[in-house]
Amino acid sequence: MNITIHPDFISQSAPINHIITHFSTEGTLFIDGRRNKIKTFPLGDITVNVKSFKVPNFFNKIAYRFLRSSKAQRSYEYANRLMEMGIGTPQPIAFCENSSLVSFKDSYYMSLHMTPDLTYRQLIEIPDYPEHEIILRQFTKFTFRLHEKGVEFKDHTPGNTLINKVGPGRYEFFLVDLNRMTFHNRPMTLEERIKNMSKLTPERHLTEVMSDEYAKLYGRPFEEVFSLMVKHAQYFATRFHRKRAIKRALGLRKK
């Protein structure tokens, strides 16, 4: 077992090791997903959450052992990089990998546990949420800032942005589920930017607000940005539902 601990938490190495080692028998279950499981644990005077990544298939066991970074390592490294760039994400604390001489086994990522005021998913599901449009426009500015810094968050989906209110009409945003990202060392094109937002919502009135805000920030006509958002959102939705239908037909997903 190999554990990497953030320099700010080295003094708590012993309890961090204990948490990882006893993940299966201790802690409070927070998310019991089909692929991954998340538990919360006390660590001194804070609460941390630990994400246990699903044991990969045979080919990925070899790939993660010899060819590429594990999801836990990428989550940890990307979180540190985001924080260096001034982009919100829960404080990374540690990651752990279990492997043998010839194969990768499993991995864990530990970060500060946050209790947000809401997520982007709740924002799109509750249209009369207080200051709804203000939050939506600030979220769009947050996404624009990601793109300006060359950050392409591959899992930019409704559940992966936590939102906290920090003052009247002021909100902060934090990215979670970080293991799939690209950091571009060149300006992102408008097409790349809008495609990166395609998983957020197919709702027309929300798309109109985001398009309006993004167009102002990017300096392009609303119609151009809106048409791209509609195109990519529709393409993603069609592909998503097609994949689900195929999995159901093959008996790989419950109806």
Model confidence over 165-223: pLDDT tens digits?
999 999 999 999 999 999 999 999 999 999 999 999 888 999 999 999 999 999 999 99
Burial class, 129, CB count within 10 angstroms (exposed 0-12 / middle 13-18 / buried 19+): middle
Q: Residue 240 above 70 pLDDT?
A: no
Q: Which residue has the tokens 């097609």?
A: 242
Q: Residue 61 above 60 pLDDT?
A: no
Q: Residue 153 above 60 pLDDT?
A: yes
In percent, the amount of the chain with pLDDT more than 70 equals: 85
Q: Six-digit token pair at 194?
A: 């809008």
Q: Which of 51-60, 103-112, 148-157 has the highest mean pLDDT?
A: 148-157
Number of Cβ atoms within 10 Å of the Cβ of 150 = 14
Number of Cβ atoms within 10 Å of the Cβ of 234 = 12
pLDDT score of 165? 97
Domains observed in the chain: 2-112 (3.30.200), 118-244 (1.10.510.10)
Of 75, 65, 59, 205, residue with least CA distance to 153: 75
Average pLDDT over residues 126-150: 97
**In sequence order, which ranges of 127-168 are alpha helices (DSSP H)?**
132-148
pLDDT score of 215? 98
pLDDT score of 145? 98
